[in-house]
Amino acid sequence: MSRMNLLQAVNNALDTAMASDDRVLCFGEDVGVFGGVFRATSHLQEKYGRERCFNTPLVEQGIVGFANGLAAQGSVPVAEIQFADYIFPAFDQLVNETAKFRYRSGSLFDVGGLTVRAPYGGGIAGGHYHSQSPEAYFAHTPGLTVVVPRNPHQAKGLLLASIRSPDPVLFFEPKRLYRASVGEVPDDDYELPLRQAEVVQEGSDITLLAWGAQMEVIEQAADMAGKEGVSCELIDLRTIVPWDVETVVESVLKTGRLIVSHEAPLTGGFAAEVAATIQNRCFLYLESPIERVTGLDTPFPLTLEKEYMPGPLKVLDAIHRTMDF
């Protein structure tokens, strides 16, 4: 075991994947000698050469289009989009090519070896172009897997599983936690299951569901609620789509209450999909309406970032409303 922050865990996962499979390639803007804007790819070019870790032009649709081509001919590309906010020029490639390549060819061809990494989310005073959480855009697209880790141990295991998945994966990394989240990470090669949520803390009164950096927020809210006598069950969704419906259903059948929290805006956020599904599956067991604690329906603000973010006090208020209903 080694003590790593989340960024080091990502770097370690990439190193592990490249060492175990010569087909794995890393590329993106400034990922070579510079090691990426956050240094996630530090020393990989030095270790594996410019043929396997290299810079691209600043053209996101080209990065993903190139990755699609590599994956289609048998390579295992890991493409980096420098910030998730800049993934939108590649939207057509991801939604109309990556997601549909296997389906439209009748399984004759696929780009299942493709992984796209992108740092997402706020909390770093990045303003509206370096703080967005775009997971819901891609959750609407059959054919893509969307994964978000919450800490270093999860990041390494989930990234290795994503790189080796037979399906294309969007891997969103919570950049606020890159250096803030530190923990013990196995030095050995290991994978954590995709499409499977994790019950992080068991409870009996209310279920709190989140993913990525928002897990830390609901943990803080649960601690405060616990001091008031409210027993919270915490679930990390981990894979946004296809999501683990059964684990969430099982929890809500027990607690009768659910709060879903994410940084992305309220309208059309993935919490709405979760709420609709759980309402359908657990309607007669619900003790109160399902609550959503999310970002606001505005562009991500710079000066009002703290007001925008769905912090632990907002989650605690939702817990009070739900328990008092």
Shared domain check, 144 and 26: yes
Separation between Cα atoms, residue 205 and residue 102, nearest integer Å:
44
Shared domain check, 35 and 162: yes
39-76 pLDDT, tens per residue?
Answer: 999 999 999 999 999 999 999 999 999 999 999 999 99
Report pLDDT for 223. 98
| Alpha-carbon span 222 to 216, nearest angstrom | 10
Looking at the chain, the whole-number percentage of residues with pLDDT higher than 70 is 100
Neighbours of 60 (CB within 10 A): 25
DSSP result, 246-286: HHHHHHHHHHS-EEEEEEEESTT-HHHHHHHHHHHHHGGG-
Asked if 146 and 26 sit in the same domain, the reply is yes
Residues 173 and 67 placed together within one structural domain of the fold: yes
pLDDT tens column, 21-44: 999 999 999 999 999 999 999 999
Structure confidence at residue 25 (pLDDT): 98
**Domain boundary residue among 185, 213, 238?**
185
What pLDDT does residue 107 have?
Answer: 92
Looking at residue 196, what is its pLDDT?
A: 98
The reported pLDDT for the residue numbered 179 is 96
3-state secondary structure of 239: strand
41 and 109 part of one domain: yes
Angle, nearest 10°, between helix axes 245-255 and 270-282? Answer: 60
| Judgement on whether residues 181 and 210 belong to the same structural domain of the protein | no
Question: Does 121 fall in a domain?
Answer: yes
Q: What is the pLDDT of residues 169-211, one digit of tens each?
A: 999 999 999 999 999 999 999 999 999 999 999 999 999 999 9
What's the whole-number mean pLDDT along residues 110-118? 97
Residue 130 and residue 61 in one domain: yes
End-to-end CA distance of the chain, in Å?
46
pLDDT at site 33: 93
Buried b (16+ CB within 10 A) or exposed e, 76-93: bbbbbbbbbbbbeebbeb
Residue 319 falls inside a structural domain:
yes
Average pLDDT over residues 143-172: 98
Residue 191 within any structural domain of the chain: no
Distance of CA 231 to the CA centre of its chain: 26
Which of the four pLDDT bands, split at 50, 70 and 90, describes residue 96?
Answer: very high
Question: Which residues are the active-site residues?
Answer: 60, 130
- pLDDT confidence of residue 118: 98
- pLDDT band at residue 100 using 50, 70 and 90 as cut-offs: very high
**Residue 125 sits in a domain of what CATH number?**
3.40.50.970
| Model pTM score | 0.97
Residue with tokens 């959480």: 133
pLDDT range class, residue 12, cuts 50, 70, 90? very high
Q: What is the pLDDT of residue 254?
A: 98
Full domain range(s) for residue 123:
2-185
Cα separation, 124 vs 137, in Å, equals 22
pLDDT in tens, 270-321: 999 999 999 999 999 999 999 999 999 999 999 999 999 999 999 999 999 9
> CATH number of the domain that 293 lies in?
3.40.50.920
Same domain for 254 and 119, yes or no, is: no
Pair (145, 246) in one structural domain: no
Looking at the structure of the chain, the number of domains it has is 2
Residues 308 and 208 in one domain: yes
User: 84 near 120, Cβ under 8 Å?
Assistant: yes
Measured between alpha carbons, how far is 207 from 214 in angstroms, rounded to an integer?
14
278-286 contact pairs (CB < 8 A, 24+) = 278/248, 278/249, 278/252, 281/245, 281/249, 281/252, 282/249, 282/252, 282/253, 282/258, 285/252, 285/253, 285/256, 286/252, 286/256, 286/257, 286/258
What phi, psi does 230 have (nearest 5°)? Answer: -100, 125
User: What is the pLDDT at residue 156?
Assistant: 98
Q: Per this entry, what is the length of the chain?
A: 325
Which of 160, 185, 210 is where one domain is finished? 185
- Domain identity same for 166 and 207: no
Is 193 domain-assigned? no
